[in-house]
Structure 1
Amino acid sequence: MTNHPRAVDAPDGLDALAAADAAGLREILLGVCASRAWADAVAATRPWRGRRALLDASAAATAALSAAGLRDALAGHARIGVPGAGDATTEREQAGVRGADPALLDELRRANAAYEARFGQVFLICATGRTAATVLAALRERLPNTPAAETEIVRDELRKINEIRITRMLDGA
């Protein structure tokens, strides 16, 4: 499953988001992050006094995710190098990986498999603006991490991804 943030018309994207009914807001937020706990926590902070308040609410909700909430969030992310067909969000986020040398993509697939075997979850990185080589280097660098250290890195990467997705949604991009 992958996420598809629904665009909220700019320039009043924040106003439109804040005015959505509870079910509509939850649907929109689940398009940013697949964790219901995250969506509920962010929704509970409205009305937002500005974009920064919404982004801060997102960061706080990400920091507070339980292990189950984090697993839910990760379930909404495509494997690096394998964005879902027709999934514009992950295709855009992983644009730097697309078209990489096939040998490099094979290395990335093998490293992904090693990561998933070690940590029991998809490798999560804010891939926006990264090439396949830099993603692979980061993956290899993170493989020796302890599970606890990796959880905190994943949480921070998720925070970055959510911030980018919210910003794009508010900007109508």
Structure 2
Amino acid sequence: MNQPCTQFDLNTEDLAKICSSRHWQLLMKLAMPFKDGDEMFACAKNAFEQLSEADWLEAFAGHPMIGDLKTLEAKYGHGKALSEKEQSQVQGAAREVLEELLTLNHAYKKKFGFIFIVCATNKSAEEMLAMLKARIHRTHQQEIAQAAIEQKKISRIRMEAYL
């Protein structure tokens, strides 16, 4: 998984695709060049540990919110744009599931002030809905902490793409 490579840098655009927190991006730039993937992951972990709540909110804001049924249906309905692996997990969600997911997404954002963040890789619409239902009853601090964990997972997957 972590293949050795010669020293490398990620440019500003690459870092922004991984995580939209500008503070995280700056800390990563200061740590470059990375000798390999393990060093990059360690630096990312260190950078994440230095983020404030405002930095996390900036990172969360870089993700699109599922905002309408058309978007939900495109993502979960038929899975045409998803990878083969993701398609095996998504078997055409029922419209009722998509509608409830949309409604709860809006309720979540209203309650917490940021969108529902979850590492969605290989998760069905039904799984996402169950996670959202479980998390919407948490406190603000509990949810910031969970969303940060999810952001780290997402960022890890995105960093792996550069190795």
* Structure 1 and Structure 2 fold alike (TM over 0.5): yes
Gaps of 5+ in 2: 75-80
Aligned amino acid, residue 15 of structure 2:
L
- 2:42 is matched with which residue: 19, 34, 56? 56
Please identify which structure carries the higher strand content: 2
Cα distance, 1:98 vs structure 2: 8.4
Amino acid in the other structure paired with 2:63: H
User: Is the contact between residue 126 and residue 161 of structure 1 (CA under 8 Å) also seen in structure 2?
Assistant: yes
CA contact (8 A) 2:21 2:56 kept: yes
- In the TM superposition, what is the alpha-carbon distance from 1:91 to its structure 2 partner? 5.9
CA RMSD after TM alignment: 2.7
Contact 2:18–2:158 under 8 Å retained in 1: yes
The answer to whether the Cα contact below 8 Å between 2:118 and 2:150 also exists between their aligned partners in 1 is: yes
Structure having the higher Rg: 2
Q: How many equivalent pairs are there?
A: 149
TM-score by length of 1: 0.75
Letter in 2 for 1:55: F
Which consecutive segments of 4 or more residues in structure 1 shift more than 6 A? none
Q: Which structure would you say has the larger RCO, counting Cα contacts within 8 Å and 6 or more residues apart?
A: 1
Residue 54 of structure 2 is aligned to residue 68 of structure 1: yes
Give me the TM-score of the superposition, normalised by structure 2.
0.79
Q: Which runs of 5 or more residues in structure 1 are unaligned?
A: 1-10
1:97: how far off?
6.0
The percentage of aligned residue pairs carrying the same residue is: 31
Distance in 1 (alpha carbons) for counterparts of 2:65 and 2:121: 14
